[in-house]
């Protein structure tokens, strides 16, 4: 008997908090079944997009994000550095491509870049793009003109996370408003760049507030192209050091609900992977995660090394998405084809 075709995925931007909370409250087997089914409708479940993240300017950030070791006001052992040279960034990008990455993200610990910084970052973007890699940057808040300049340089993605639900935001950050984040995302969308936007879980928020974060992401005018889900990495010296750790199954639930709400987005396992067991990561892939950061370090926090990742991929029968170029456009594809918020200023 011939299998009937799947109904096309419907993208919604009108989720209520109650609807999202109801998804979180499903039994674990039912939630994973639904998420895995939606994932399979929109992606090859054996393909994982691989990105590499480089801190091109570390530390010294003036903001007070409670999770961030790069905030100048916290004593975390992270020293402020100057912006890297284009040549040094290009060498790191070449290494990332050789190791199998298809996207290269450059992060700078700025509240927002100064206009004089934009030409320097633009030069990095052009050189990395010329290698055949997708380009991504996370530099803090952007003006409309700055977004235009980065787009003109060839930037594919801009990472700017919401971090948490609107009703929990003021518990975590006081130096920038939630609306500031939405404004930067609007500037990025307006110039035609893709958005990379997610948040952090395990900061002491409730399940309802985790639902609120995902509800806000899904109700943006366009779903983020990539949705990084970060699990808090507790760094001594930050206000959130000592926070009760999030239950691993609750983290998997968050991945699954993100997949259901944003079915065509890349859902990325971001910060916190270093402390995740292979079994927990496997559950996340089953729940719809299909992107990871790859390499030994995410800006200022650890990450599983490439050998461990490739060994896990082999055990699970997964493979990296391949880089292709079509009509001058570089992208990763399943057949053709942010940065973690709490390790950077974005």
Q: Please list the active-site residues.
A: 61, 65, 68, 105, 136, 196, 268
DSSP string, 32-81: HHHHHHHHHHHS-TTEEEEEEEEEEE-S-B----TT-TTBTTS-SSPPP-
Q: Which structure tokens are listed for 334?
A: 């399943």
Distance CA 146, CA 64 (A): 24
Structure tokens that stand for 105 in this block: 């993200």
Contacts of 179 (CB under 8 A, 6+ apart): none
Q: What are phi and psi of 38, to 5 degrees?
A: -65, -40
Residue 135: partners with Cβ closer than 8 Å, 6 or more residues away: 103, 104, 105, 106, 125, 128, 129, 154, 155, 156, 157
Give 203: exposed, middle or buried? Use CB within 10 Å, 0-12, 13-18, 19+. buried
* Cα 285 to the center of its chain, rounded Å: 15
Q: Which residues, 6+ apart, have CB-to-CB distance to 327 below 8 Å?
A: none
DSSP 169-216: GGGT-SSS-HHHHHHHHHHHHHTT-EEE--EEE-SS--HHHHHHHHHH
Q: Are 325 and 333 in contact (CB under 8 A)?
A: no
d(CA 189, CA 30): 35
CB 78 within 8 A of CB 58: yes
213 in Cβ contact with 165 (< 8 Å): yes
């Amino acid at each position: 008997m011939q299998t009937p075709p799947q109904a096309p995925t419907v993208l919604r931007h009108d989720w209520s908090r109650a609807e999202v909370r109801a998804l979180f409250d499903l039994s674990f087997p039912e939630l994973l079944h639904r998420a895995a089914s939606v994932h399979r409708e929109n992606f090859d479940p054996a393909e994982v997009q691989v990105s590499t993240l480089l801190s091109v300017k570390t530390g010294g950030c003036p903001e007070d994000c409670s999770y961030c070791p790069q905030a100048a006001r916290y004593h975390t052992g992270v020293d402020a550095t100057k912006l890297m040279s284009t040549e040094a960034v290009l060498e790191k990008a070449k290494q990332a491509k050789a190791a199998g990455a298809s996207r290269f993200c450059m992060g700078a610990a700025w509240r927002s870049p100064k206009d004089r910084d934009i030409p320097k970052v633009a030069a990095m973007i052009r050189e990395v793009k010329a290698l055949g890699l997708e380009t991504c940057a996370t530099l803090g808040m952007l003006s409309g003109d700055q977004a235009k300049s980065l787009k003109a340089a060839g930037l594919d993605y801009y990472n700017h996370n919401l971090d948490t639900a609107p009703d929990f935001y003021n518990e975590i950050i006081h130096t920038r408003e939630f609306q500031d984040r939405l404004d930067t995302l609007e500037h990025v969308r307006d110039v035609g760049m893709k958005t990379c936007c997610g948040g952090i879980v395990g900061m002491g928020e409730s399940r309802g507030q985790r639902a609120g974060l995902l509800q806000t992401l899904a109700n943006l005018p366009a779903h983020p192209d990539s949705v990084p889900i970060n699990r808090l990495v507790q760094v001594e010296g930050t206000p959130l050091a000592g926070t009760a750790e999030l239950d691993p199954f609750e983290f998997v639930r968050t991945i699954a609900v993100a997949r259901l709400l944003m079915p065509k987005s890349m859902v990325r396992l971001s910060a916190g992977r270093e402390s995740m067991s292979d079994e927990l990561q496997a559950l996340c892939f089953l729940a719809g995660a299909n992107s990871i950061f790859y390499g030994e370090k995410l800006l200022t926090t650890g990450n599983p090394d490439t050998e461990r990742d490739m060994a896990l991929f082999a055990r699970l029968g997964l493979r990296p998405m391949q880089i292709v170029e079509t009509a001058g456009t570089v992208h990763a594809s399943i057949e053709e084809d942010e940065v973690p918020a709490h390790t950077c200023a974005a």
